[in-house]
Amino acid sequence: MNTPVSGFSKLSKSQKIDWLLSRHLNESETAREVITRYWNQDVPLQELHDGFSENTITNYYLPYGLAPNFLIDGELVTIPMAIEESSVVAAASKAAKFWLNRGGFKTEVLGTLKSGQVHLNFEGLNSEMEAFFAFAKASLLQSLESINASMKKRGGGIQDLRLVDKTKDLKGYYQLHATFETNDAMGANFINTSLEQLAMTLRLKASEFKGFSTDRPEVVMSILSNYVPECRVKVSVSCSLDEIGEVNGVTGREFAEKFVRAVNIAGIEPLRAVTHNKGIMNGIDAVVIATGNDFRAVEAGVHAYAARDGKYRSLTNARIEEHNFVFEAEFPLALGTVGGLTSLHPLSKLAMQILGQPSAEKLMRVTAVAGLAQNFAALHSLVTTGIQAGHMKMHLVNMLEQIGANDEEKAQLKKDFEDKTPSFSGLKESLAQLRIAADQS
């Protein structure tokens, strides 16, 4: 049991499953059935899925849903969302409906630049490093011409290259900081290839430079950054307080004041801000996953942006201006609509068709809207009825499955809990009573 496996990656899928069952699952044929049940019967499609990752044995499915009726910059949009959490798609759809006749969502792309760094170590004089960069910069940029050629034709490519002195933070630490425009591509491979070329050229030019009195700069690593504050989109909704109308027995102004207060709490209290922003990411991640983009990169970049001033805080802002309610946010979103999984996964391609084959900028706008809508819906519930009653009702189907109710019992329990907040204990007790009554009849 404690012997390491050798050559696992070279085993066939069936051999990997056999090894798994013998090593970890007590030769369970039930486990084998679960694994094979999720294979796609379309063999070429399954082979495509197998190629996305390594050591694959099966597929892990997520629900793929639709949130319709989003009015975005005057255009009606249906947003595809892939997520396993109850209430997210329903909440987004509810927010879309609320704002549909109140002006809809307005967006503005504030920038599309991404960056990467060649990280350097140099123990010599700062003046020598600056002189070297002035000597080498033209050659560094020249070395990227072939890599940048096709991207430049579309108006992209490297936009700037500068030397950054970080020696006050870490002894001997410098960066070559490069910014890129990648158009509709996510651009990770393009940026990393460019950075590695810069590193190669830097080594070459360092060997030619005569101005170093000690050792030459050493390349530590070359890698893009998933922090993209220059690739940012603004999204907002607004309406008059009268247009809000009565909300759960309170006036539009009272609702707006409480809503603004809730957002302000997330602006100063990290304990609340983390959960507040997690709700935003429910909407953003669902669109990012559905469109085949990298949700881990987006998550990391967005949360870093939430702490950009040294304190983690809310990503959204709300205010009352005279007689108007305004709710808005800015999100850093480096997304792509061509290349990678977006061009390979059939459901990602379908998502792009649903969205009308958007540009990267339009996808940024739509994704930002999903985040703001999700936050609006969550706060709407939190400051009125509370979030748990609605969430647990949406979660009811899962709970009924977990307690082992059959179809007839599920139907009766849904009816019994129509006006109640369900809980596992309450459902189990009601199920037991149903079965006792059935046995006695």
Q: Give Cβ neighbours of residue 354 (< 8 Å, ≥ 6 apart).
A: 66, 78, 80
**Residue 175: enclosing H or E segment and its boundaries?**
strand 173-181
Cα 250 to Cα 258: distance, rounded to the nearest angstrom: 10
The CATH number of 113-224 is which of 1.10.580.10, 3.30.70.420, 3.20.20.80, 2.40.50.140? 3.30.70.420
Cα 187 to Cα 194: distance, rounded to the nearest angstrom: 10
pLDDT at position 392? 58
Active site residue 181: no
List the single range of 36-45, 78-87, 264-273, 408-417 with lowest mean pLDDT. Answer: 408-417
Cα 227 to Cα 340: distance, rounded to the nearest angstrom: 20
pLDDT at position 385? 79
Residue bearing the bigger pLDDT, 409 or 299: 299
Active site residue 128: no
Positions of E strands within 22-172: 64-72, 75-82, 106-109, 113-121, 157-165
pLDDT at position 393? 59
Grade residue 253 by pLDDT with cuts at 50, 70 and 90: very high
pLDDT at position 425? 82
290: tokens are 């559905």
Position 388 pLDDT exceeds 80: no
Position 241 pLDDT exceeds 80: yes
Nearest Cα to Cα of residue 425 among 401, 407, 405, 399: 399
Identified catalytic residue from 137, 234, 278, 349: 278
Identified catalytic residue from 181, 184, 285, 294: 294
* Other CB atoms within 10 Å distance of the CB of residue 113: 17
Show contacts of 125-131: CB within 8 Å, 24+ apart. Answer: 125/213, 126/165, 126/167, 128/211, 128/212, 128/213, 129/163, 129/165, 129/174, 129/217, 130/163, 131/211
pLDDT at position 437? 78
Identified catalytic residue from 18, 50, 73, 85: 85
376: tokens are 């609006």
Grade residue 398 by pLDDT with cuts at 50, 70 and 90: confident
Same fold, 71-110+231-388 and 113-224: no
Identified catalytic residue from 94, 205, 380, 391: 391
With a pLDDT cut of 90, the percent of the chain lying above it is: 82
**Contact, 102 vs 136, CB < 8 A?**
no
Q: What integer best gives the mean pLDDT of the chain?
A: 93
Nearest Cα to Cα of residue 86 among 393, 403, 307, 348: 393
The average pLDDT across 399-414 equals 83
Positions of E strands within 191-265: 218-224, 232-240
Grade residue 357 by pLDDT with cuts at 50, 70 and 90: very high
Active site residue 278: yes
Grade residue 435 by pLDDT with cuts at 50, 70 and 90: confident
Interval 98-154: pLDDT, tens? 999 999 999 999 999 999 999 999 999 999 999 999 999 999 999 999 999 989 988
- Integer distance in angstroms from the first to the last C-alpha of the chain? 53
The domain spans of the chain are: 8-50, 71-110+231-388, 113-224, 395-440
pLDDT at position 387? 57
CATH of domain 71-110+231-388: 3.90.770.10
Interval 164-188: pLDDT, tens? 999 999 999 999 999 999 999 989 9
248: tokens are 């759960």
Active site residue 168: no
* Other CB atoms within 10 Å distance of the CB of residue 264: 14
Cα 217 to Cα 220: distance, rounded to the nearest angstrom: 9
Cα 35 to Cα 251: distance, rounded to the nearest angstrom: 54
**Contact, 280 vs 315, CB < 8 A?**
yes
Task: Write down the pTM of the prediction.
Answer: 0.88
Interval 215-226: pLDDT, tens? 999 999 999 999
Grade residue 395 by pLDDT with cuts at 50, 70 and 90: low
